[in-house]
Amino acid sequence: MYETRKAENNDYEFLFGLKKSAEFEPIKAVFGWDENVQRDIHRNEWNEEKPIIIEVDGIAVGSYLVQFHADHLYFGRFFLLPQYQGKGIGSHVLKRVIEIAAQQSLPIKLCYLQGNQVGQLYKRLGFEVIRQDEQFVHMHKQCL
């Protein structure tokens, strides 16, 4: 179905384009899209930690990041190219992360932009809204 690998330096521009394809409309609606600001955010995220690349038939189609903390896992930077959405890849990735969290007896926390359709997937897989504002929705799932 898909394979994963750690992002490499040559994935940098792909990942920016991926984020733009997945979040342009929600970012535009919430903050307004400013290419320079988004590139700065992308650079900071890249320098903080490189995500996992999702590949189908050797082609990069998405990404995600799991950060391990003492009291939870943080799941973020979860994007799929539009033509690969709705094919079960995202559900499979997230179910695998849920398994990892359960093995560690840790809850999962995540945050996404208001208006992003990914929230439907999170709710379907048992995540609950813990707070939200005009910009973000914060969710968690107990995996103990």
Residue 140 CA to residue 75 CA, distance in Å, equals 10
Work out the widest C-alpha separation in the chain, in whole angstroms. 41
The percent of residues above 70 in pLDDT, for the chain, comes to 100
Residue 24 CA to residue 26 CA, distance in Å, equals 6
- Taking alpha carbons only, the member of 13, 35, 34, 33 closest to residue 25 is 33
Q: At what angle do helices 35-48 and 12-30 cross, to 10 degrees?
A: 130
Cα 73 to chain centroid, rounded: 13
Residue 29 CA to residue 137 CA, distance in Å, equals 15
- Taking alpha carbons only, the member of 116, 114, 144 closest to residue 131 is 114
Q: What DSSP designation does 17 have?
A: H
pLDDT in the model for residue 117: 87
The yes or no reply on domain 3-141 and CATH 3.40.630.30 is yes
Which of the four pLDDT bands, split at 50, 70 and 90, describes residue 128?
very high
- Segment 115-120 shows an average pLDDT of 90
Tens-place pLDDT, residues 51-88: 999 999 999 999 999 999 999 999 999 999 999 999 99
pLDDT in the model for residue 115: 85
Residue 104 CA to residue 123 CA, distance in Å, equals 22
Q: What DSSP designation does 83 have?
A: G
Question: Can you name the residues that pair with 113 across neighbouring β-strands?
Answer: 136
* Domains in the chain: boundaries: 3-141
Tens-place pLDDT, residues 23-44: 999 999 889 999 999 999 999 9
Does position 144 have pLDDT exceeding 80, yes or no? no
Total-model pTM: 0.93
